[in-house]
Structure 1
Amino acid sequence: MQIRSKFSSLYLWPLLAWLMLFVPLSSSHSKESISDPIRVQLAWMHQSQFAGFYVAQVRKHFENEGLHVTLIEGGPNINPITELQEGRADVAVSWLANAWSLSADQKHVTNIAQIFSGSSLAVICRISAGVFTPKDITGKKIGVWGLGDELVVNEMLNRLEIPQTSVELIRQAPNGQDLIDGKVACATTMAYNEYWQILEKGIPSTDLIVISPELFGIPHIEDGLYVMTDRLSSSVFRTQMVKLVKGLRTGWKEARIAPTLAVEIIQRKATVLNKEHQKHMLESVLGIIPVNPNEFGLFDLGRYQSEVNRLLSPDKVNPTPERIWTYDIWNELKKEDKNTTPLTQATKFYVSSTTGMLAFKILVYFGVFTYALSGVLEAIHRGYDLWGRLILAFLSGVGGGTLRDLLIGGDRLPFYYVKDLTYPLGILLVVLITSSIVAAHQDAHMSDLFKKTKKYADILGFTSLAITGAAISISSNLPWFWAPICAALTCAGGGMLRDIVVNQEPSTFKGVIYEEVAVVGALFLVGGLMVANHFEYTALPVYLSLILSIILIICLRLAIYKYHWRYPKFLGGSGLDSDSH
């Protein structure tokens, strides 16, 4: 008995302790499952605005993904974000402004997918109420829902220079009824819903003035999927959300293919709905749903930044909420589709934003004008007149960028120097100033000081154009391998065109290491941007990648000059030292 007691004390207690640790862990893992119910709180009552949800549910697209989805009807006194925060829903369909204003400590919400890519919000006023132009809103009552639309109205008043105190915002009844009854002079409406209902109630279109906030540069990000931010830490929940978006994407695709069937499905949810009205609504809604399935769910950071500028204005709502958006679900969806790219949407957006900065434009100007200078000097060396100098300067300065933009097409046309006269005027000034200096001091361009200055200016100009070419290719959504090609083309294409005009073999084809530096710098940039993918909420890693790439290219060019690096003879190098551009 004594031996048995010792055995028990020696082994039983550690066993019990191990079980106490293991059981909670195993039970915590069993709490979540892909098949757990998902409650989706809709932003409004059952209608065609949510057609894709109903089609996905009835056609079992959610079920085929292993999900059990419940759609919860909204209404005039139901805020979807509040329902989400209070635990009565797992997913909420809401506007960004509404989510932004209600996201707070311990109750942060995050947009995981954007359904509407455009905006349908409008302010409709009745001419019979004395509103003939937007300025006539002064002194009138405006009906709002209080879901963020009031913020848009206030911003529109600011743009119209109408004091907010001069109008009265009141909570309006559903379906534009207050505007129909004449209780308000204006009301916020959705182009796909209330507008049609107002017409159906007998209000003639000739009595209405429709004011779109978008015309005043006021973006409005509407229906998106929002979840509690802390739930995204669960891999099971993230998987559920990926499957939810995937099923929803199929639902909207089928609603577009068979709109009549979609309306019939909607009417099963709410038999009192008018069929013709729902058809009109669905037709309007499909206009702001991405046609390309690969774009469904994509949160547009460009529109977001524009709306943030409004939301962060003084005396507006709270500062930027924590993780109000994420591409985590979008990225996982792309992996399931086997449609991933090396650079994330956030990284591409930050690169694109950088190309629009003043500092970046100055960098490009410097590169173009430096290369134009080399063209002028080549023309002077060959004894060309003013027109010949201008042609060679233009080819050298913008020839590479022209070839690059012809390759990219799309938004890069018409050419940047056509849209921005700074380029041709700057090149003209370079030609006139250089020609004047050479005319006054004929040997000025042959002096050691001038040659040294030109050498270092050429290095900086080369770096500017190489980085420009790589960044523009990335911001234009070209595959990553076009970045080094566009970098080399931008910094060397103009020189090659100039050499063709003067009937000269490009020196960079004869052993000089030149475009190769641009290729190395662009590849380094792409690698840095891949690291930046992991920091979707800040552009600093993108800026750092650009700066380090610039430093690398400058260092390589300096090393080539100092150590006279060239191709070896068996690869075409002549062993002779010569400048490249």
Structure 2
Amino acid sequence: MKISRILLASVLALTACGTADTPTTPAPGAGGALTPVKVQLQWVYQAQFAGYMAARDQGYYSEQGLDVSLLEGGVDIVPQTALAQGRADYAIAWVPKALASREQGAGITDVGQIFARSGTYQVAWKDSGITKAADLAGKKVGNWGFGNEYELFAGMTKAGIDPGKDVTLVQQQFDMQALLKREIDAAQAMSYNEYAQLLEAKNPATGQLYTADDFAVIDWKTEGSSMLQDAVWANTEKLGDPAYQQQTVKFLTATIKGWAFCRDNAEKCRDLVVASGSKLGRSHQLWQMNEVNKLIWPAAGAGIGVIDEAAWKQTVDISMTTKNQTGDTVLTKAPEGLAYTNDYINQAIAQARAAGVDVTGTAFRPVTVTLAEGGS
């Protein structure tokens, strides 16, 4: 199986370093001191991670006896590898990317599926006639790579399109300039980030900002090729340590409170993200906060973070059967061992509910966000 250059490098590093350095976790808050906890994010500070930032800034982690540091990510950082190598205690990562790392030897377990729904789009100009995956045949199709393209390839494959023959794949930057300049026919976008960049751009023909009416959106949830994304991953070996088990429940309990806070206080969470140094503006971050909330709330069933078996199976099935442009799949076999568990998130939900936290958000309603030029 071929994987991205970054993931391959991380796997080689993982093989070299192993996971032997997994010291015993002190009981959270033992002796009255806060237990240091490092969490590796998969990107820079933005509202995608607002729930964790709120749990830190509102004191929810410290209430649980934890001193949590949120480590920013980047294109050269693979969160699940940082976790497996002991450089972080938990990591936030998309499920298919993390499962690829597991197959290569990373000892990690999904203990909290925070995003219940996928936020990945493929966006085209309305006048292109592209409205569904089948319409991408013969087109120039942008994607970021680095493991972000699996839903796109799955959607095209389901529509009978061979990603290696029937489209022209274009390496896309993490912006929407190639689409805006009509250098590509369809661009990859997250509902909470790059899609908003289109609506923050000015139409030179009118002098006004573009609107949703100018674009067509292919939503992989509608196409049936969506995959699970942001999850909390723990160190599998350390989950054998009762203290780490206790710490995991405490971390998840506070995290639930953080995301519930952001559900009910979108503007406050926008402000704390901006204050943390985000390079994205206030209207953009409020849009992102609102769209991220849609991926979490309402949380069906037992509550936020519970891993839905059907959604997990779909993600695994796509990972095993969908081929990329070179004919490779994300996974060569079904995940082995403790790939996921709901044990700790269920305990955390029970504790959060006992503390009066709404863990399902059934009354959640998105807010209306007005974007400013450039997201300011």
Tell me the CA shift for residue 130 of structure 1: 7.2
Tell me the CA shift for residue 131 of structure 1: 4.2
Are the counterparts in 2 of residues 100 and 320 from structure 1 also a CA contact under 8 Å? no
Tell me the CA shift for residue 329 of structure 1: 0.9
Q: Residue 220 in 1 paired to residue 235 in 2?
A: no
Aligned residue runs from structure 1 range 98-117, under 5 A: 98-104=97-103, 106-117=105-116
Q: Matched residues in 2 for 1:267 and 1:120: separation?
A: 22
Q: What SS does the aligned partner of 1:149 have? A: coil
Which one of 294, 311, 320 corresponds to residue 312 of structure 1?
Answer: 320
Structure number with higher strand proportion: 2
Q: Matched residues in 2 for 1:177 and 1:241: separation?
A: 41
Q: What SS does the aligned partner of 1:287 have? A: helix
Q: Residue 269 in 1 paired to residue 283 in 2?
A: no
Q: Matched residues in 2 for 1:152 and 1:254: separation?
A: 30
Q: Matched residues in 1 for 2:104 and 2:159: separation?
A: 35
Aligned to 1:194: 194
Q: Residue 250 in 1 paired to residue 265 in 2?
A: no
Seen in structure 2, the aligned counterparts of structure 1 residues 334 and 261 have a Cα distance that, compared at 3 Å, is closer
Q: Matched residues in 2 for 1:168 and 1:90: separation?
A: 40
Seen in structure 2, the aligned counterparts of structure 1 residues 170 and 263 have a Cα distance that, compared at 3 Å, is same
Which one of 311, 336, 341 corresponds to residue 326 of structure 1?
Answer: 341
**1:273-332: per-residue Cα shift (whole Å, max 9, x none)?**
211111111111112223469501211112112222222227522312222211221243
Are the counterparts in 1 of residues 96 and 228 from structure 2 also a CA contact under 8 Å? yes
Are the counterparts in 1 of residues 119 and 192 from structure 2 also a CA contact under 8 Å? yes
Instruction: Return the TM-score normalized by structure 1.
Output: 0.50
Gaps of 5+ in 2: 1-21, 29-33, 204-209, 323-327, 355-376
Tell me the CA shift for residue 50 of structure 1: 1.3
Seen in structure 2, the aligned counterparts of structure 1 residues 82 and 188 have a Cα distance that, compared at 3 Å, is farther
Tell me the CA shift for residue 69 of structure 1: 0.6
Q: What SS does the aligned partner of 2:321 have? A: coil
Seen in structure 2, the aligned counterparts of structure 1 residues 72 and 129 have a Cα distance that, compared at 3 Å, is farther
Amino acid at match of 1:172: Q
Aligned to 2:148: 149
Aligned residue runs from structure 1 range 344-359, under 5 A: none
Q: What SS does the aligned partner of 1:175 have? A: coil
Aligned residue runs from structure 1 range 115-194, under 5 A: 115-127=114-126, 131=130, 134-165=133-164, 166-194=166-194
Seen in structure 2, the aligned counterparts of structure 1 residues 107 and 277 have a Cα distance that, compared at 3 Å, is same
Are the counterparts in 2 of residues 111 and 324 from structure 1 also a CA contact under 8 Å? yes
Tell me the CA shift for residue 43 of structure 1: 2.0
Aligned to 1:58: 57
Between the two proteins, the alignment pairs up a number of residues equal to: 312
Q: What SS does the aligned partner of 1:312 have? A: helix
**1:344-397: per-residue Cα shift (whole Å, max 9, x none)?**
xxxxxxxxxxxxxxxxxxxxxxxxxxxxxxxxxxxxxxxxxxxxxxxxxxxxxx
Tell me the CA shift for residue 178 of structure 1: 3.3
Aligned to 2:248: 241
Which one of 278, 296, 301 corresponds to residue 304 of structure 2?
Answer: 296
**1:210-240: per-residue Cα shift (whole Å, max 9, x none)?**
1112222223211110122212111111111
Aligned to 2:4: none
Aligned to 1:32: 26
Which one of 229, 236, 256 corresponds to residue 229 of structure 1?
Answer: 236
Q: What SS does the aligned partner of 2:295 have? A: coil
Tell me the CA shift for residue 118 of structure 1: 1.5
Moved more, 163-172 or 229-238: 163-172
Aligned to 1:354: none
Aligned to 1:432: none
Are the counterparts in 1 of residues 143 and 171 from structure 2 also a CA contact under 8 Å? yes
Seen in structure 2, the aligned counterparts of structure 1 residues 76 and 183 have a Cα distance that, compared at 3 Å, is farther
Q: Matched residues in 2 for 1:143 and 1:127: separation?
A: 16
Moved more, 148-157 or 287-296: 287-296
Amino acid at match of 1:199: L
Are the counterparts in 2 of residues 150 and 169 from structure 1 also a CA contact under 8 Å? no
Aligned to 1:15: none
Seen in structure 2, the aligned counterparts of structure 1 residues 180 and 230 have a Cα distance that, compared at 3 Å, is farther
Are the counterparts in 2 of residues 97 and 147 from structure 1 also a CA contact under 8 Å? no
Aligned to 1:361: none
Q: What SS does the aligned partner of 2:234 have? A: strand
Q: What SS does the aligned partner of 1:210 have? A: strand
Amino acid at match of 2:255: L
Amino acid at match of 1:223: D
Seen in structure 2, the aligned counterparts of structure 1 residues 128 and 87 have a Cα distance that, compared at 3 Å, is farther
Q: What SS does the aligned partner of 2:202 have? A: coil
Q: Matched residues in 2 for 1:137 and 1:291: separation?
A: 32
Q: What SS does the aligned partner of 1:122 have? A: strand
Seen in structure 2, the aligned counterparts of structure 1 residues 46 and 182 have a Cα distance that, compared at 3 Å, is farther
Amino acid at match of 2:43: W
Tell me the CA shift for residue 338 of structure 1: 8.2
Q: Which of the pair has more CA radius of gyration?
A: 1
Are the counterparts in 1 of residues 25 and 241 from structure 2 also a CA contact under 8 Å? no
Amino acid at match of 1:47: Q
Q: Matched residues in 1 for 2:76 and 2:125: separation?
A: 26
Q: Matched residues in 2 for 1:129 and 1:333: separation?
A: 47
Q: Matched residues in 2 for 1:192 and 1:94: separation?
A: 16
Are the counterparts in 2 of residues 95 and 147 from structure 1 also a CA contact under 8 Å? no
Seen in structure 2, the aligned counterparts of structure 1 residues 145 and 78 have a Cα distance that, compared at 3 Å, is farther
Q: Matched residues in 2 for 1:260 and 1:331: separation?
A: 29
Tell me the CA shift for residue 150 of structure 1: 1.5
Tell me the CA shift for residue 123 of structure 1: 0.9
Gaps of 5+ in 1: 1-27, 340-581
Q: Residue 284 in 1 paired to residue 291 in 2?
A: yes
Tell me the CA shift for residue 107 of structure 1: 1.4
Q: Matched residues in 1 for 2:201 and 2:67: separation?
A: 39
Cα RMSD of the aligned pairs, angstroms, is: 2.6
